[in-house]
Amino acid sequence: MTTNPSTASNTDFLLAIEDLTVSFDGFKAVNGLNLYVDREEIRVIIGPNGAGKTTVLDLICGKTRATSGSIRFHNRELTRLAEHEIVWAGVGRKFQNPAIYENLTVAENLVVSYPKGRSVFGSLGFRRDATVQTRVEEVAEAVFLQDRLDEPAGILSHGQKQWLEIGMLLIQEPELIMLDEPVAGMSVRERQQTGELLARICQGRSMLIIEHDMDFVRSIAHKVTVMHQGKILVEGSMDKVHDDPRVKEVYLGH
């Protein structure tokens, strides 16, 4: 059962996760988790494989249903909303492997993600007018794809696909962007570009990022949360986390 939101305290945090637990056949992948994300904060979650990081994102965006606990976004309980309603509330999520539409062009990928015409009849009547077009070009430029607009997304490189998916989130203007290992498999140069990209787009929104690359984490994180066995091990600044012996033991020492 989820906590009754009226008993949970009101909060100024954009995202407030309290006592969140999910159990898969008795195995608690996330176990009594409490996590608070501020407005305009970039929070990075790190932790060993299987710690439950991806599962936390799955719970927030509704892909997995919580066994108990609460997830509030703008003080609105998300655990009871359908996936698309969570998106409408302002939560955007990027998957670990780039999830883009390979058979559509880059521009079409962005048009499909444009946050108007989301109902059946709305999408039938949706017009790709100058406003939409301008926005598509703007976003394409932000994610370094302005010259690839008319190419099928399937032929993009791995890094470009990651960017495109970030662009597909951006065009929806979510208040919270969640990214699962966004720089995995990218070249050094691409990592750097992605870091700049994320720093640029965090204006006016919060981000929750899962990442393993420590240099990358150091370059963007405001605050780092270390997860281990479904729980939070340590939370704080990158330096604090980095020097913590428990973190060294379960994660960084590897």
Which spans of this chain sit near another protein (rule: CB under 8 A)? 61, 63, 82-84, 87-88, 92-93, 95, 99-105, 107-109, 111-113, 115, 117-120, 123-126, 128-130, 133, 136, 149-150, 152, 165, 168, 172
Q: Give 109-115 contacts, CB < 8 A, sequence gap 24+.
A: 109/153, 109/164, 109/167, 109/168, 110/136, 110/139, 110/140, 110/164, 110/167, 110/168, 110/171, 111/136, 112/168, 113/167, 113/168, 113/169, 113/171, 113/172, 114/171, 114/172, 115/171, 115/172, 115/173
Q: How far is the CB of 55 from ligand ADP (least distance, A)?
A: 3
Q: Which residues 121-180 are close enough to bind ligand ADP by CB under 6 A?
A: none
Query: Is the separation of the CB atoms in 139 and 167 below 8 Å?
Result: yes
Shorter beta-carbon distance to another protein: residue 178 or 217: 178
Residues 3-32 as x/- pattern, contact with ligand ADP by CB under 6 A: ---------------------x----x---
Q: How far apart are CA 209 and CA 43, in angstroms?
A: 6
Between 188-201 and 130-142, two packed helices, what is the crossing angle to 10 degrees? 130
Residues 31-60 as x/- pattern, contact with ligand ADP by CB under 6 A: ----------------x-xxxxxxx-----
What pairs with residue 37 in β-bridges?
A: 15
Give yes or no for residue 54 binding Mg ion (CB under 5 A).
Answer: yes
Q: How far is the CB of 169 from Mg ion (least distance, A)?
A: 18
Pick from ligand ADP, Mg ion, another protein, none: which does 128 bind, CB < 5 to 8 A by kind? Answer: another protein
Query: Is the separation of the CB atoms in 170 and 194 below 8 Å?
Result: no
Q: Residue 50, by phi and psi: left (phi above 0), alpha (psi -120 to 50) or beta?
A: left
Residues 53-92 as x/- pattern, contact with ligand ADP by CB under 6 A: xxx-------------------------------------
Shorter beta-carbon distance to ligand ADP: residue 33 or 86: 33
Shorter beta-carbon distance to Mg ion: residue 75 or 97: 97
In sequence order, what are the residues at sequence separation of 6 or more whose Cβ sits closer than 8 angstroms to the Cβ of residue 73?
14, 15, 16, 60, 86, 89, 90, 91, 176
Q: How far is the CB of 109 from another protein (least distance, A)?
A: 8
Shorter beta-carbon distance to another protein: residue 8 or 149: 149
Shorter beta-carbon distance to another protein: residue 1 or 130: 130
Q: How far apart are CA 83 and CA 22, in angstroms?
A: 17
Residues that bind ligand ADP (CB under 6 A): 24, 29, 47, 49-55
